[in-house]
């Protein structure tokens, strides 16, 4: 059953017509019945206005390789090349800046095509691209009776609060025009692995490191000429909050690919291919990646610090400080009430300095 308890953005997504996949069991069940699904990751950068939007497609051929038991590479660049992830980025004129103040820059876009568009043309451009990708990947070929079935298009994200916000507003025509069949939030998949409540949520970068994935950043003359990286002097000046959306969507699909590969690897240690009988066994096989991700989520449970209280020495010292402060306060009050009384100690010295 889908895990809805942690879906903080449920209200924003509630108007959409397609179901959510929010736990490991739901993901496995969906792929078991749709092993040719087309997963489309979408990421948006920018607030309060969109500065960059990126799309990346995990082709059905790649999903079939994962279903067959193939282990994807840990190098995100290699995974994108081997599985032929189809990535497209849109950057908004006047909104997106490659450099950030005088020191930092964004990550260098590593994947796919880049297109600069005006703000008022973004929705139309994104809709056209998604429909083009759907027509390219969703056609499953004619059947014996002449029908041409379509593969389901699964919208994918990671903590997609920003995407939900814009889909409910300026990008609403996109979800109206594109026939998405389901939605999966990878962060909710991770959180569903833990039964603990009141937990924090891991970031995409932390989840990737926990899963053993890594992204190599390189610079080419073509990228610089295309405006993807404007100032080579800032090559080592990274700001983790200023990422490239085109890199993020590839990272999301890479993490999803590894989760899928392990989800489809059942407790008996063999791929759960449909129709393949499995020999009974009482020896469970651990799933290291899923266990690491589960421990990551459980390790982020926010607990209140427990203070054991002051020691005896600290109590004596604090009482002495408090008594000294009370004496000083009483002396000041007496001075105000009886200005003719002689003053002693620090107050007298202070008064003498003022008289001098």
pLDDT in tens, 97-130: 766 555 666 677 889 999 999 999 999 999 999 9
Q: pLDDT of 57-89, one tens digit each? A: 999 999 999 998 899 999 999 999 999 999 999
293: nearest Cα among 240, 251, 255, 249: 255
Whether 30 and 12 have beta carbons less than 8 Å apart is answered as no
Cα–Cα dist 42/53, whole Å = 7
Helical axes 245-263 vs 204-211, angle rounded to 10°: 40
Residue 249 confidence class, pLDDT cut points 50, 70, 90: very high
| Domain map (residue ranges) of the chain | 10-298, 312-355
Judge if the upstream peptide bond of residue 48 is cis by omega within 30 degrees of 0.
yes
Q: pLDDT of 278-308, one tens digit each? A: 444 444 444 588 888 888 888 776 555 556 6
Element (H, E) at 155: strand 153-157
Whether 190 has a pLDDT exceeding 70, the answer reads: yes
Lowest mean pLDDT among 9-13, 134-138, 262-266: 9-13
In which region does residue 345 sit, left (phi positive, over 0), alpha (psi from -120 to 50) or beta (all else)?
left
CA of residue 304 relative to chain centroid, distance: 25
Q: Name the percent of the chain lying above pLDDT 90.
A: 34
Element (H, E) at 56: strand 52-58
Structure tokens at 210: 């926990």
pLDDT mean across residues, the chain: 77
Cα–Cα dist 21/27, whole Å = 6
Structure tokens at 12: 């924003």
């Amino acid at each position: 059953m889908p895990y809805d308890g942690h879906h903080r953005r449920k209200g924003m997504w509630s108007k959409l017509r397609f179901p959510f996949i929010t736990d490991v069991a739901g993901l496995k069940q969906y792929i078991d019945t749709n092993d040719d699904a087309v997963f489309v990751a979408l990421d948006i950068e920018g607030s309060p206005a969109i500065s960059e939007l990126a799309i990346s497609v995990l082709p059905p051929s790649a999903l079939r390789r994962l279903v067959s038991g193939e282990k994807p590479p840990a190098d995100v660049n290699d995974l994108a090349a081997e599985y032929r992830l189809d990535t497209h980025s849109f950057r908004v004129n006047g909104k997106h800046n490659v450099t950030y103040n005088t020191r930092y820059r964004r990550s260098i876009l590593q994947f796919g095509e880049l297109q600069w568009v005006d703000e008022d043309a973004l929705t139309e451009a994104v809709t056209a691209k998604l429909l083009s990708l759907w027509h390219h990947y969703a056609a499953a070929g004619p059947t014996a009776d002449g029908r041409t079935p379509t593969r389901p298009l699964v919208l994918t994200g990671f903590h997609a609060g920003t995407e939900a916000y814009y889909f409910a507003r300026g990008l609403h025509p996109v979800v109206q025009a594109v026939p998405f069949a389901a939605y999966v939030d990878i962060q909710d998949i991770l959180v569903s692995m833990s039964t603990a409540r009141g937990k924090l949520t891991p970031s995409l970068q932390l989840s990737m490191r926990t899963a053993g994935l890594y992204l190599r950043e390189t610079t080419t003359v073509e990228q610089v000429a295309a405006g993807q990286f404007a100032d080579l002097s800032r090559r080592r000046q990274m700001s983790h909050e200023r990422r490239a959306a085109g890199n993020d969507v590839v990272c999301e699909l890479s993490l999803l690919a590894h989760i899928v590969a392990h989800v489809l690897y059942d407790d008996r240690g063999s791929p759960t291919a449909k129709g393949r009988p499995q020999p009974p066994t009482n020896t469970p096989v651990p799933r290291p990646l899923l266990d690491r991700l589960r421990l990551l989520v459980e390790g982020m449970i926010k607990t209140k610090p427990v203070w054991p209280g002051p020691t005896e020495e600290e109590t004596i010292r604090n009482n002495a400080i408090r008594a000294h402060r009370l004496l000083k306060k009483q002396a000041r009050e007496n001075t105000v009430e009886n200005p003719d009384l002689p003053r002693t100690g620090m107050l007298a010295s202070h008064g003498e300095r003022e008289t001098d």
